[in-house]
Amino acid sequence: MVIIMEHRHHGKSSANFLDADEILTELDLKGNETFMDAGCGDGYIAIKAIDKYLPDGKVYAVDNYPQSINDLEEYKKENNVGNLFNVEADLAGEISEIEKASVDVVLMLNVFHGFKKNADEAILELKRVTKDDGRIAIMEFAPVEMQFGPSLEVRVSPDELEKQFSNHGLKKIYLNEDIGAEIPDGKSHYLMIFKKEQI
C-alpha cells in the first residue's frame, strides 16, 4: 500500500523560526495602510503589524482554516482591536469580504508553495484586492536543503515565482535573498515584492 503524505499547512506558524520585525520592516509601512496577511495561520504577523507598524491602518487576516480565524476573533475581542478583520476564505477563490483594489500591501508568508493547480487563481485574487499602486510581498523558503520546511520538490525558486507573477501583469520590484533563519548555506528564505504593471 502506498501512503501519500499530504503537505499539511493548516495550523502551522512560522513564529518560532521567522522574526516578524525583520519581515515587516522590509515592507516600509507608513502606519495608515490597509494590509493583508494572506494565509495568516496563528496571525503572529497580523498582530505584530497592528501593534507596532499600523497604528492608523487596517489589517485583514485571511485563512481558510476555521480554527485560526476563531482564535484570532478571540484575540480581537479580548484585546479590543478594532482595526483587525479576520476573514475565513479561500485565497484561490473570491474573498467576498475584501473589495477590489482596497489593499495597499499584501504579505503572503510561507503559503505560496502550497498552491499547486490553483496558484494562478491565488495570484489573480491577490491582484484583485490590491490597489493599483499597491504591493504584493511573497516570502518563501529558499530552494535549498535545510533542516526544516517543506520538501525541496514543493519549493518555488525566485525565478519561478517571478515568472508566475509576471504572467499576470505583476512586476518584480524588490528581491531580498538574505532573510529568515540562519542555515549552513546562508539564510532560509527570500522575499520578493511585486507591483501591478501600469498599462
Ligand X SMILES: C[S@@+](CC[C@H](N)C(=O)[O-])C[C@H]1O[C@@H](n2cnc3c(N)ncnc32)[C@H](O)[C@@H]1O
Residues that bind ligand X (CB under 6 A): 9-10, 12-15, 39-41, 63-65, 68, 90-92, 109-111, 114
Bridge partners of 194? 136, 172
C-alpha cell at 25: 520592516
**CB closer to ligand X, 34 vs 110:** 110
Closest separation between CB of residue 142 and ligand X, Å?
Answer: 15
Q: Angle at which helices 158-166 and 119-129 pack, to 10 degrees? A: 60
**CB closer to ligand X, 8 vs 77:** 8
**Smallest Cα–Cα separation from 131: which of 64, 198, 45, 190?**
198
**CB closer to ligand X, 107 vs 170:** 107
**CB closer to ligand X, 12 vs 195:** 12
Closest separation between CB of residue 126 and ligand X, Å?
Answer: 11
Closest separation between CB of residue 114 and ligand X, Å?
Answer: 5
**Smallest Cα–Cα separation from 193: which of 142, 149, 134?**
134
Closest separation between CB of residue 198 and ligand X, Å?
Answer: 28
Q: Which residue has the cell 499597491?
A: 134
C-alpha cell at 1: 500500500
